[in-house]
A and B are shown apart, each in its own frame.
Chain A
Amino acid sequence: MISIKNVQASIEDKEILRGIDLEVNTGEVHAIMGPNGSGKSTLASILAGREDYEITSGSVEYFGEDLLKFDPEERAQKGIFLAFQYPVEIPGVSTTNFMKTAINKIRESRGEKALDAVNFLNLMKEKMKLVDIDQSLLSRSLNEGFSGGEKKRNEIFQMAMLEPKLAILDETDSGLDIDALKIVANGVNKLKSKNNATIVVTHYQRLLDYIAPDFVHVLYKGKIVKSGDKNLALELEEKGYDWIKEEVALV
């Protein structure tokens, strides 16, 4: 599905990613872990098309196309979804309204007709149930005055609505208590299918107790320094990141 090759990126001349290689296929869940400042969120942002970063070399192929040449909205229309670490507030625009605009823009880009009110509402109801979110939250201004948990749950709700091919969860677990974490993870699991893929970016292992990854990668100083299965995550939980740092230092 997506093939990331030797991607290097910097912001204001500061090198952040120093050659990332990653291959994700449909049906897979990849976890990207690493200490603070290792470049995890940068990787997520680059895939979504944030312009703050300069990609100095490398390539990203997505379903055979050069992903990097597309605008962020085109990437979204092609099925890439980023659950934000810090979801943005948009006063006066309800989640419902926001989703309606988004869905119809995406449909338009695919040459499909806009959803009528009835079909849209039915879709909303179905997805609300799936991620256990309340109607009243969706009528409020997007993310305005939401608690941390509500914001993250709202992100997962949007993900459910947009049915992405590749979902990237950027530190979705940060700031969540255990109940909220379960709800979010539960939503992600329900959305998983053999036709889509998920990249979970996280600092801690605990989210991976609920979302079982097929692969775990450790990002450190802008490079993937170790890959493995979910046992790697457990090892990290147990030992912390220091042993990885030492290993890298030795090389």
Chain B
Amino acid sequence: MSIEEQILEEFTSKEYEHGWSVDFEADETPLGINEDIIRFISAKKEEPEWLLRWRLEAFRLWQKMEEPKWANVSYPMIDFQAIKYYSAPKQEKKPNSLDEVDPELLKTFERLGISLQEQKRLTGVAIDAVIDSVSVATTFKDKLSELGIIFCSFSEAVQEHPELVRKYIGSVVPSNDNYYAALNSAVFSDGSFCYIPKGVRCPMELSTYFRINAANTGQFERTLIIADEGSYVSYLEGCTAPMRDENQLHAAVVEIYAAKNAEVKYSTVQNWYPGDKNGKGGIYNFVTKRGICVGDYAKISWTQVETGSAVTWKYPSCILKGDHSVGEFYSVAVTNNHQQADTGTKMLHIGKNTRSRIVSKGISAGKSQNSYRGQVEVMKRAENARNFSQCDSLLMGSLCGAHTFPYIDIKNKTAQVEHEATTSKVGEDQIFYCQQRGIDEENAVALIVNGFAKEVMNKLPMEFAVEAQKLLALTLEGSVG
């Protein structure tokens, strides 16, 4: 069966699919944030002193910072004292293998269509599963470690590889980078850690699956990927959350470090709960993702399919420091109902002959607002830097908005920067044409939208492409007619 057919077949369910929650016994902090909470989190994770100090410093910085207001989104003031900063499903002791993981947890992931039992897994994907504040399981660890690849939860990395964590944490996204990065640095609870040694090509996709389960809880995970010289890794990230009436905060940080000749491909399918039709509830997704191509000929590629969240504020970026390094950003952002997305990228050209490519496809429906915000900056010594940006917007209906905010800052005359933008509407003519061939309206929209987003969808690893195509269709369910 082709991908298209599968989507069409599954195009029948009406509601957000992952909107359930499970009652675990949870180990959690009271509402609110202060230094004691941070000490509690750090102690819970048996962290070394330096990391606690790093957190506290970030917290002090955060207290002096102001929430950014420049994004083209609006939402009520967040009460940071009304959020729980740590919630972990209670487990008797740390599991040593999957057999010891709470079966309820395994079931939770199975409901999400993710089996953590290695023998049942699709070959070719290793998964780190994170519920609320902690990583519950990482698959294929042993197999990967034979190649010297470290793939584990962030907490484990702090225990097992403190020298690597200490060296790289905050090296790409410093804790004072922005308001939410500072908050994350203070209270981050878990996340994934990945190290690919010199010359190793990671033989399988590495994946992190994030799930917010507990109520009133923020999720603050941190991902750190280090690709040593000449290595390659493809990394996938997926996220879901229960339907809840209140808004929940997700403020993550992802740092990617690519050494000489290394290549990192990072793909996200973001499907946080978007809120209901009237805009009630949903996740605030304020995320800082950045990669640095430190060495020559390094390459970092971001691919994202953003369908969820009530409010999204996210700019996966590349710092192209090494000569001949390459940065790519491929994005499909879909907003429906009352969703708001302000997303895009930043490409900072520092090295010579650096290249970047931006392809952004925004799809707006309902009363949603969808903004692309991108910055291309070419520094003085970046001889022959090249950038190509393409921003396409597709509108459905007349109540939504699409906005493009491209910033270009060139300090070297040899730079070549191109920007193309289009805006189109899903036309009645297109829909009628499909209908006349026997395809009903909903399926026609799915077909048209997937066609529009194809260039980006093709960049996704196979394992994700199907899920992503289905998501596009589901997100836009009921947005025509």
Q: B-contacting residues of A (Cβ < 8 Å)?
A: 48-51, 71-73, 75-77, 81-82, 84, 87-93, 97-106, 109, 114, 117, 141, 158, 162
A105 in complex: contacting residue of B2, B443, B452, CB < 8 Å:
B443
CA A234 to CA B451, docked complex, whole Å: 45
Q: Report yes or no: B453 in contact with A92, Cβ–Cβ below 8 A.
A: yes
Q: Report yes or no: A102 in contact with B451, Cβ–Cβ below 8 A.
A: no
Give the Cβ gap from B188 to chain A, nearest Cβ, in Å: 39
Which B residues are CB-close (under 8 A) to A106? 438
Identify the interface centre among A48, A73, A84, A104: most chain B CB within 10 Å of its CB.
A73
Interface segment out of the listed B41-49, B166-174, B299-307, B426-434: B426-434
Which B residues are CB-close (under 8 A) to A84? 433, 436
B276: CB under 8 A from chain A? Answer: no
Q: Report yes or no: A98 in contact with B430, Cβ–Cβ below 8 A.
A: no
A90 in complex: contacting residue of B435, B441, B448, CB < 8 Å:
B448
Give the Cβ gap from B113 to chain A, nearest Cβ, in Å: 22
B466: CB under 8 A from chain A? Answer: no
Which A residues are CB-close (under 8 A) to B1? 114
A91 in complex: contacting residue of B2, B432, B433, B451, CB < 8 Å:
B451
A73 in complex: contacting residue of B439, B448, B450, B451, CB < 8 Å:
B439
Given contacts A84-B433, A101-B443, A114-B1, contact A90 B438 (CB under 8 A): no
Please name 6 further chain A to chain B contacts, defined as beta carbons within 8 Å, in addition to the given A73-B434, A90-B433, A92-B450, sorted by A numbering: A50-B432, A75-B436, A99-B437, A101-B8, A101-B439, A102-B439
Which A residues are CB-close (under 8 A) to B8? 101, 104-105
B440: CB under 8 A from chain A? Answer: yes
Contact with A along B450-480 (1 / 0, CB 8 A): 1111110000000000000000000000000
Q: Report yes or no: B429 in contact with A88, Cβ–Cβ below 8 A.
A: yes
**Which chain A residue lies CB-closest to B433?**
A88
Identify the interface centre among A48, A93, A109: most chain B CB within 10 Å of its CB.
A93
A158 in complex: contacting residue of B5, B427, B437, CB < 8 Å:
B437
Q: List 17 A-B contacts (CB under 8 A).
A: A49-B435, A73-B436, A73-B439, A76-B438, A87-B433, A88-B430, A92-B453, A97-B447, A98-B437, A100-B2, A100-B4, A101-B5, A105-B437, A105-B440, A106-B438, A114-B1, A162-B437
Given contacts A50-B432, A101-B4, A104-B5, contact A71 B440 (CB under 8 A): yes
Count how many chain B residues have C-beta atoms less than 8 Å from C-beta atoms of the other chain.
Answer: 27
Which A residues are CB-close (under 8 A) to B443? 101, 105
Which B residues are CB-close (under 8 A) to A93? 447-448, 450-451, 454
CA A118 to CA B327, docked complex, whole Å: 40
Which B residues are CB-close (under 8 A) to A77? 438
Q: Report yes or no: A117 in contact with B435, Cβ–Cβ below 8 A.
A: no
Which B residues are CB-close (under 8 A) to A101? 4-5, 8, 439, 443, 447
**Which chain B residue lies CB-closest to A87?**
B433
Which A residues are CB-close (under 8 A) to B436? 48-49, 72-73, 75-76, 81-82, 84
Among residues 394 to 437 in chain B, which have CB atoms less than 8 Å away from a CB atom of chain A?
A: 427, 429-430, 432-437
Identify the interface centre among A51, A105, A106: most chain B CB within 10 Å of its CB.
A105
Give the Cβ gap from B228 to chain A, nearest Cβ, in Å: 38
Among residues 1 to 44 in chain B, which have CB atoms less than 8 Å away from a CB atom of chain A?
A: 1-2, 4-5, 8
Q: Report yes or no: A92 in contact with B435, Cβ–Cβ below 8 A.
A: no
Q: Report yes or no: B438 in contact with A162, Cβ–Cβ below 8 A.
A: yes
Which A residues are CB-close (under 8 A) to B441? 73
CA A39 to CA B435, docked complex, whole Å: 22
Instruction: Sort A-B residue pairs by CB-CB distance and give the 7 closest, nearest first.
Output: A92-B451, A93-B451, A72-B435, A92-B454, A102-B437, A76-B438, A88-B433
**Which chain B residue lies CB-closest to A102?**
B437
Q: Report yes or no: A90 in contact with B5, Cβ–Cβ below 8 A.
A: no
CA A99 to CA B427, docked complex, whole Å: 19
Q: Report yes or no: A73 in contact with B435, Cβ–Cβ below 8 A.
A: yes
**Which chain A residue lies CB-closest to B3?**
A97
CA A99 to CA B2, docked complex, whole Å: 13
B438 in complex: contacting residue of A88, A97, A109, A114, CB < 8 Å:
A109
Give the Cβ gap from B231 to chain A, nearest Cβ, in Å: 33
Give the Cβ gap from A76 to chain B, nearest Cβ, in Å: 4
Give the Cβ gap from B359 to chain A, nearest Cβ, in Å: 12
CA A101 to CA B4, docked complex, whole Å: 7
Give the Cβ gap from A48 to chain B, nearest Cβ, in Å: 5
CA A106 to CA B438, docked complex, whole Å: 6
Q: Report yes or no: B437 in contact with A76, Cβ–Cβ below 8 A.
A: yes
Give the Cβ gap from B28 to chain A, nearest Cβ, in Å: 46
Which A residues are CB-close (under 8 A) to B2? 97, 100, 117
Identify the interface centre among A90, A103, A158: most chain B CB within 10 Å of its CB.
A90
CA A106 to CA B435, docked complex, whole Å: 11
Which A residues are CB-close (under 8 A) to B435? 49, 71-73, 76
CA A114 to CA B5, docked complex, whole Å: 9
Give the Cβ gap from B365 to chain A, nearest Cβ, in Å: 18
